[in-house]
Amino acid sequence: MNAQQIMALSRAGVAVEVVPETGSTNVDLLARAFTLQGPVLLVAEHQTAGRGRAGRSWLSSPDHSLTFSLAWKFGGGLQSLTGLPLAIGTALAETLGRLGQPVQLKWPNDVLKDGDKLAGILVETASAADGGVWAVIGIGLNLAMPDELEAQIGRSVAAVPWLARMERDTLLAAILDGLAEALRLFDQAGFGAFSARWNLLHGWQGQLVVILDRGEVLHEGLAAGVDDAGRLLLDTENGRIAIVAGDVSLRIKT
């Protein structure tokens, strides 16, 4: 991958850096956040210590995935970022759809293909020098899935062989453009500008699901999409409730 080529193909106006290998692109950008002058996309051709939500590991394979982080500064405080991971998921899913690969979304921050996880999103924050806040958005996207990596992960995961054949710089430029457009809109209007778009992509709309926290069942009901704050709406026997993001797993009830 070539940083200059990605920037030439993109209209986002974002600085791009490509490194052959690193532990975690999120960790790298978080360490630099206080000195960043503008948005930066950091791409790793191989990431050895990728992280997912709730401290989970994100396993990837060189040449078979995209692993990158985007640092983006917001003028408001942390409260203004409510729903940001869902807005990012919407932008990523819509971009993949425009590239010919329809996908769905799972609350709060997974991209699904045929019911299996295709991409994960991890958003972390750091203070900016001027009082704003940097959001460091880490994304791991499976392009192909070697049998040995799937065995290491220990569950069925998705891949997009169609996009794996696409030139990497072109693919990253398209994803960067979709993300940058969404982040600018989010900064202006918040998640309310994305909730209807997210709901159109909801993979488990109307499905009977259970909400788990550390293996304990908290709620069960019909998944009814998200509200303008990014909360999952669940239709239970006692009426509709709103689930707030946290260390919660969503599973289709069988």
Verify whether residue 11 is a known catalytic residue: no
**Residue with structure tokens 């909730």?**
195
Q: What is the DSSP string of 42-65?
A: EEESSBSSEE-GGG-EE---TTSE
Query: Is 53 a residue of the active site?
Result: yes
The one catalytic residue in 51, 73, 113, 117 is 117
Distances in Å between the alpha carbon of 237 and those of 152, 205, 211, 241, 247? Answer: 39, 17, 14, 10, 24
Specify which residues 243 forms β-bridges with.
232
Q: Per the residue annotation, which of 11, 184, 251, 253 is the catalytic one?
A: 251
Q: What angle do CA 23, 28, 31 make, to 5 degrees?
A: 140
- 251 is annotated as an active-site residue: yes
Positions marked catalytic: 53, 117, 251
